[in-house]
Structure 1
């Protein structure tokens, strides 16, 4: 009987002890002090009562200097926001701790009174392990990893007399899946859910379908084999891949566990890393249904690198170990894996097979309407002004850029004691903007119309529109100031002609500039996404990957720039690629020369309107062709 009482006490005190550890770490510098106001950001309001309780106990125990000092603990959301009532409330309070979950809960007046603002973060497995050791209880790493996924309130409520720690974990794991589904239907105000997110395109559609499938699975309507196992999200830095995972987990109403190669590697040598990897997957299965996020997935490496690499054996074992975790013999029911990268080419192809990461979905930089929606979302829908102006001024911005812009604008409004953000707030925090001169806009227009004319000549039905910008942020490169959009899927059986046309279209911007100005500006090269670089890679693939050159040798290359690695290692290949580029450049230049009058008319119009539709290009092209044919007939007569 005594043993059971001791174990029950251990379970009951577990959550309290973990919360105490987190609070003590946050306010340690102030524990000996007799007068302070500290604001602590907590990750979830659901645990606020527990944090308030342990804070009162902590401040009234060992570190009290004057037994008569007043200790007060507040929820920021319940505090009056104006100065007078705040001064009155805290007049006699010597030690004050305020909890909040959102910056909006801290008014400008309250912010002036606070000595320190800090964040405790979420509990980690090491906290539960340390608490268990303090209580003299045994707890394995998988149990600790599972408890991290549950609110401290749940751990505390599940601790009943006679229920030791091991049984507490089992009880939480066995909660009805109906409870999980019900939780998925309720999202706290301001929480991220995929339904409210913009700019994710196909990734959003896939995520919403996954959420529906998981709900059906929890109801027993479908089997797990009918649920997608996972995806690889590919997108530039700041495009919101990690935010996507959080929003998807909220929409699904399931747990989110975040891991990475760096986190596992920090555990020690190869054996420690593999153990950490397996523990993470084990914790995800124990907490099912779970979304397991593997961030910076290209860090795991690629077994296709040369075997002469001194880290080759290490890399192979890491990749093989992760493949076993992704596709174990007994399956991974209840666990969906989301991997993220900004370099899908560096991913080992074995990760992308069915049953593992079953598809690659690109997250592009947001389009104008998505940028408008993202900015509005991060401004908390408390904005006075015109969004269209900022939508156009943020061309090429990522979701992270827009989030920071909104955060800076909210800060200005908050310091001005306003609850709403004005247009002047956003303008004040935007980076300096460079306005393109009339000559720069015209050169840019000539470049983009060159792509459009050659593209229309070779593939008339694929052109969508042509756009340029009249200004750009000073911090952004020139790669985002113009675009010619085509809409054409890769043919089922592409031939050499298809790739030749692609190369000619890429080189057409440079050819157009040279036809009009006699030279071209550096934007045609200098970056992995530049026209000349892409044309060179396609030419390399034609020669070495698809056997469209003189030889039958096929090679896929290695590393982050596989086509470049092939060229660097083979002078003969470089010469063949150079000749192919010269041929397609001359073809593009000939098309440009024939349609030069249309080029000039369209470039003049684009430099003023900043956008041309495919129909405008088609009509102008047809008019100039008819005029040219009429002149030829007249000259013959």
Structure 2
């Protein structure tokens, strides 16, 4: 029995009919699967939809009546943003060998590499349209619904919608009931309600963790003020930017803080919101209305969330390609503006910069791209301090640095909310222990493990300062680590290396020596080294190997002037495997610089022990303390300080 025949069975509710229709349309992008064949599909929900809403319809489509699939031959995986990242892989592993599998993920969930490789196709589920409601009304309620009724109905929460529309109840009665429960708001009114109910957004200048994006935003505020005052032309102002970064880093909050910093109106929207207005014509009308609103209130900022959802015209090949091309073309027209968009700065946000049509980011449109990284440890502490209204001293928050590794601003905000909830329950002020309850559990570093890390980081410190690797900023070792974070360093020695400088072959050899100094220190003082220097792309061994290969194959500093375009670790690895002579030269550099680092440390063995003891006891070594210990050693053991 085909998919369309299944749809003809008597529908029990408008909700079931609508979601069945949406899933059937989505599956048509994979003709073999839609016809009942095997495969593994990933379905991405529209904005504001949960995977659980599609479960029943997805399960119906997994079974094919003609082939009589058994229950152990099909699989359904649902993953929401609130779920742990491991859930996806765990659930998929249970059904990876089944013939027909559908994974429904909430928009914003990042696909693990194994799932990306396994999936036959990633399909974006279309949102509910007025036509879907009208068709459901005819099939379930057995009554016609007008375009106006369908558009109005879609402005209500979906749970209200499904409750109101019941078999044998007239459309007008259902609409009356909906109207009595909740009055639908215009998009502008919804924005105003959200702004009133949301916590006060600080100025961008007072926020942390945004790096270059913050610098760009504060400069934009100055430029808009100057343009408004007539001291600069609009051609001197940046007209658009794309912000990229993982979910939760605060791209939407950045837009609000930017608008406040610039003291201008923020018009926020997305393709999903424009699509929710209905047909293509309604979508385009809503898009142009938002651009008009921004232009009429210039200077202003128009924020387009999930701008990658427009896709790239170069990759459109599905049945709705013409529809998608028209949507992208309309956005380009709005960005160019027949009447100009003077005074309107467009900010786009995305989790995947590679999926954006190149025409959107060309010169004159959104021609600047800034990546918002995960916040550094200093930023995370500052964010926590800000979120707690500075009620806990920053010095008390410092131990939370390792526990917050890899967390976004959204994760930190959730931890603070959880902590406040606990404090309210017990009728007291927020404490450090309350915050810890909302953070991942850590494992204390102590004993032999801590001493080994101290020796390792002392090695980096001595060789780095001895070779003039950069300006020494300090060394620390962590009190706790998170078992759930792979390749988490237990400590680090920090050096500030000038971005612009003359760098010869000796500079790169020094870099390799510093990277391998931790291993050399462990071997020299402990008799062997642990696995702490390897295991990840930013590990000591990975960085040292990368630098050695780069100097030989890309920079002309080795046995040949031949240049390779290899950049990534994977490309460099292939290069080494295909050229035994290059591999031997890289191995020789690593071996020679390891021995060189060990020789330096052998001559400073007493200092190595002193620094390790200091780090083991206090967890931190400042530049001043390093200088003090070195001077004390020079007085007590003059031979120790001689240069090798």
* TM bucket, shorter chain: 0.5 to 0.7
Q: How does 1:185-196 map to 2 (within 5 A)?
A: 190-191=200-201, 193-196=203-206
Alpha-carbon offset, residue 613 of structure 1: 0.9
Alignment counterpart, residue 393 of structure 1, candidates 367, 391, 400: 400
Alpha-carbon offset, residue 451 of structure 1: 1.0
Change (3 A) 1:382 1:445: closer
Matched, 1:436 2:551: no
Q: How does 1:317-336 map to 2 (within 5 A)?
A: 334-336=344-346
Alpha-carbon offset, residue 196 of structure 1: 3.7
Q: How does 1:165-244 map to 2 (within 5 A)?
A: 190-191=200-201, 193-230=203-240, 238-244=248-254
How many pairs were matched up?
Answer: 468
Alpha-carbon offset, residue 239 of structure 1: 4.0
Q: How does 1:624-635 map to 2 (within 5 A)?
A: 624-625=633-634, 627-630=636-639
Matched, 1:290 2:297: no
SS in 2 for 1:22: coil
Change (3 A) 1:437 1:552: same
Alignment correspondent of 2:615: 606
Cα shift readout 1:234-291 (whole Å, capped 9, x = no counterpart)? 767654445334432443334355669x9999xxxxxx9xxx99x9799658734434
Matched, 1:28 2:161: yes
Alignment counterpart, residue 586 of structure 1, candidates 581, 591, 595: 595
Alpha-carbon offset, residue 504 of structure 1: 1.4
Alpha-carbon offset, residue 601 of structure 1: 0.6
Alignment counterpart, residue 434 of structure 2, candidates 425, 430, 437: 425
SS in 2 for 1:484: strand
Change (3 A) 1:23 1:579: same
Change (3 A) 1:630 1:544: closer
Alpha-carbon offset, residue 479 of structure 1: 2.3
Distance 1:371 1:509 in 2: 27
Alignment counterpart, residue 416 of structure 2, candidates 406, 412, 415: 406
Distance 1:341 1:547 in 2: 37
Cα shift readout 1:596-617 (whole Å, capped 9, x = no counterpart)? 1101111101111111011222
Alignment correspondent of 1:255: 266
Cα shift readout 1:179-219 (whole Å, capped 9, x = no counterpart)? xxxxx9x9975235424422334432331221232233345
Alpha-carbon offset, residue 332 of structure 1: 7.0
Which is worse superposed, 531-540 or 563-572? Answer: 563-572
SS in 1 for 2:223: helix
Give structure 1 stretches of 5+ with no counterpart.
1-13, 34-56, 65-70, 74-96, 100-119, 124-147, 155-183, 266-271, 304-309
SS in 2 for 1:190: coil
What root-mean-square deviation, in Å, do the aligned CA atoms of Structure 1 and Structure 2 show? 5.3
Alignment correspondent of 1:513: 522
Alignment correspondent of 1:375: 384
Q: Indicate the structure whose relative CO is greater, using CA pairs within 8 Å and at least 6 residues apart.
A: 1
Distance 1:478 1:515 in 2: 24
Alpha-carbon offset, residue 22 of structure 1: 2.5
SS in 1 for 2:493: strand
- Answer yes or no: is the 8 Å Cα contact 1:258–1:295 preserved in 2: no
Alignment correspondent of 1:531: 540
Distance 1:20 1:439 in 2: 66
Distance 1:197 1:603 in 2: 36
Alignment correspondent of 2:129: none
Alpha-carbon offset, residue 321 of structure 1: 9.5
Distance 1:422 1:62 in 2: 47
- Answer yes or no: is the 8 Å Cα contact 1:393–1:472 preserved in 2: no
Which is worse superposed, 495-504 or 448-457? Answer: 495-504
Relative to the length of structure 2, the TM-score reads 0.59
SS in 1 for 2:176: coil
Matched, 1:552 2:561: yes
Matched, 1:61 2:176: yes
- Answer yes or no: is the 8 Å Cα contact 1:20–1:58 preserved in 2: no
